[in-house]
């Protein structure tokens, strides 16, 4: 079985790390007598959607992901430009490699671009199949907010996929509502949590707190959603809110490149820099960021993955969005879905900082074995593909 997986942007790398490890374990545990073709031949493609060392290579280093076999080096651009460039660069690679399985993860532009190419490709006559079986890991999540680029990517990727692995039970209902038959849906759990569990010990050893000069208890902040950081009014209100919170609890804020660009463009970066209660940094490597998350009293974010990671770690998370595609983090986890209203954010952080925050539990199958479940399922389905 030849399996091609796609990694493009930062949140993909943690998911691919779990898949790559599960494939390696599967191959290593085959009986010595097993035929060579029982092995899974894994081809890893990096689209180059994220390319800065801190947004990409550092994750490969920290997570021990094998170097990509192919890098499309596509880079940044508008949605149409980036998606189209990935498709153009990916098509000849897919034709040449003709994998049995094309596995995509998450909801970024690389996910839909490669999925779309895979669903329409026509392999050559010598190939044993016409096109790859398309597998989507982290299927069925829905915010029901189509102004989010990721929501469009999710809906399209799911509708084109042949095998859909879900992280939480709500995803199954979403997929069934869209007419996807239940035979295609498999509850595997969360591969992002596999990687988190595998790296907790390593992360404890990170010296990032000393490097950044973090001496007191702190809250951790991340912001990068276009809906929060591309509008000067919203971003200004959020900066004011962070400055107010920082008077009660110092904050550590690793700033995403999109956010940094906009903070500078709207003359807001200096306001944060001038505060002695906010420590700023650039994007951080995985282990350093996980170290900061583990040590935080609260996390303030608009990320999808961080809602899940804080739920696993049972750390109160204030999500600065009106909706979440990951409702289990609110229903059973430690996540609060708050939006961007200053008063609501302050009320919620006050509750958390007074020690009255809710105590979450860990969702079903977020147990570190999701990658293994996915590979076992694909191997057992392989005869029917
Ligand atoms: C992308 C994903 C988003 C994910 C996020 C994590 C889509 C639609 N969005 O958003 O779901 O949560 O990644 O970070 O795929 N840039 C750099 N260096 C890099 C990469 C980007 O400086 O290595 C800057 C560029 O100015 C670029 C901007 O960041 O234009 C945005 O990058 P892009 O990949 O378009 O989207 P993200 O906001 O990162």
**157-208 per-position pLDDT tens digit:** 999 999 999 999 999 999 999 999 999 999 999 999 999 999 999 999 999 9
101-123 pLDDT, tens digit per residue, is 999 999 999 999 999 999 999 99
In this structure, are 222 and 175 located in the same domain? Answer: no
Rounded Cα–Cα distance for residues 69 and 5 (Å): 10
Query: Based on the domain organization, do 177 and 300 belong to the same domain?
Result: no
DSSP 108: S
The domain that contains 61 carries what CATH number? Answer: 3.40.50.2000
Q: Tell me, yes or no, whether 161 and 56 share the same domain.
A: yes
State the residue range of the domain holding 228. Answer: 200-353
Q: Catalytic residue numbers? A: 224
Mean of pLDDT values over 231-241: 98
Instruction: For 57-92, write each residue's pLDDT tens digit.
Output: 999 999 999 999 999 999 999 999 999 999 999 999
**pLDDT of the residue at 32:** 86
Do 105 and 153 belong together in one domain? Answer: yes
Residues 186 and 53 in one domain: yes
150 Cβ inside 6 Å of ligand 1: yes
Same domain, 172 and 204: no
- Domain for residue 316, yes or no? yes
Residues 272 and 172 reside in one and the same domain:
no
Model confidence over 264-273: pLDDT tens digits?
999 999 999 9
Specify if 358 maps to a domain: no
Q: Do residues 40 and 156 share a domain?
A: yes
Average pLDDT, the chain: 97
Residue 327: how many CB atoms within 10 A of its CB? Answer: 20
Ligand 1, atom nearest to 75 Cα = 20
Q: Is 77 in the pocket of ligand 1 (CB under 6 A)?
A: no
Quick check: 335 and 329 in contact, CB under 8 A? yes
Does the beta carbon of 108 lie inside 6 Å of ligand 1?
yes
In the structure, what pLDDT confidence band is assigned to residue 385 with cuts at 50, 70 and 90?
confident
Q: pLDDT band for position 36 (50/70/90)?
A: confident
Q: Are residues 227 and 160 in the same domain?
A: no
The 8-class DSSP code of residue 266 comes to T
Whether residue 171 sits in one domain with residue 283: no
Looking at the CA of residue 56, tell me the nearest atom of ligand 1.
23
Domains identified in the chain, total number: 2
Residues 307 and 378 grouped into a single domain: no
d(CA 39, CA 42): 9
Domain assignment present for residue 186? The answer is yes
Whole-number Å distance, alpha carbon 381 to ligand 1 midpoint, is 35
If asked whether residues 274 and 145 sit together in one domain, one would say: no
> Within 10 A of 253 (CB to CB), how many other CB atoms are there?
20
pLDDT at 33: 86
């Amino acid at each position: 079985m030849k399996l091609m997986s796609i990694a493009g942007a930062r949140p993909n790398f943690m998911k691919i790390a779990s898949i790559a490890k599960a494939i390696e374990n599967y191959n290593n545990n085959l009986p010595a007598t097993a035929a060579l073709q029982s092995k899974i031949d894994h081809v890893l493609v990096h689209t180059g959607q994220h390319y800065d060392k801190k947004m990409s290579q550092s994750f490969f280093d920290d997570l021990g992901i094998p170097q990509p076999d192919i890098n499309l080096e596509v880079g940044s651009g508008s949605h149409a430009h980036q998606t189209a460039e990935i498709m153009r660069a990916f098509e000849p690679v897919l034709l040449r490699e003709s994998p049995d399985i094309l596995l995509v993860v998450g909801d970024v532009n690389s996910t839909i671009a490669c999925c779309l190419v895979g669903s329409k490709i026509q392999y050559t006559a010598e190939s044993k199949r016409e096109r790859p079986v398309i597998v989507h890991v982290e299927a069925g999540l829905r915010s029901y907010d189509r102004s989010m680029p990721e929501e469009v990517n999710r809906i399209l990727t799911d509708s084109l996929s042949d095998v859909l692995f879900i992280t939480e039970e709500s995803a199954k209902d979403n997929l069934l509502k869209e007419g996807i038959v239940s035979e295609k849906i498999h509850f595997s759990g969360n591969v992002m949590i596999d990687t988190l569990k595998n790296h907790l010990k390593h992360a404890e050893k990170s010296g990032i707190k000393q490097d950044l000069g973090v001496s007191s208890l702190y809250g951790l902040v991340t912001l990068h959603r276009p809906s929060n950081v591309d509008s000067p009014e919203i971003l200004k209100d959020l900066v004011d809110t962070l400055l107010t919170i920082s008077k009660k609890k110092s904050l550590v804020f690793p700033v995403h490149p999109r956010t940094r660009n906009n903070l500078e463009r709207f003359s807001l970066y200096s306001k944060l820099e001038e505060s002695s209660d906010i420590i700023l940094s650039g994007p951080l490597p995985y282990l350093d960021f996980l170290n900061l998350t583990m040590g935080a009293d609260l996390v303030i974010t608009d990320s999808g993955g961080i809602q899940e990671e804080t739920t696993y770690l049972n750390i109160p998370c204030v999500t600065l969005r009106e909706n979440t595609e990951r409702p289990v983090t609110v229903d059973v986890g430690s996540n609060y879905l708050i939006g961007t209203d200053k008063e609501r954010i302050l009320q919620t952080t006050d509750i958390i900082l007074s020690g009255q925050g809710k105590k979450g539990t860990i969702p079903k199958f977020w147990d570190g074995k999701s990658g293994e479940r996915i590979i076992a399922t694909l191997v057992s389905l392989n005869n029917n593909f």
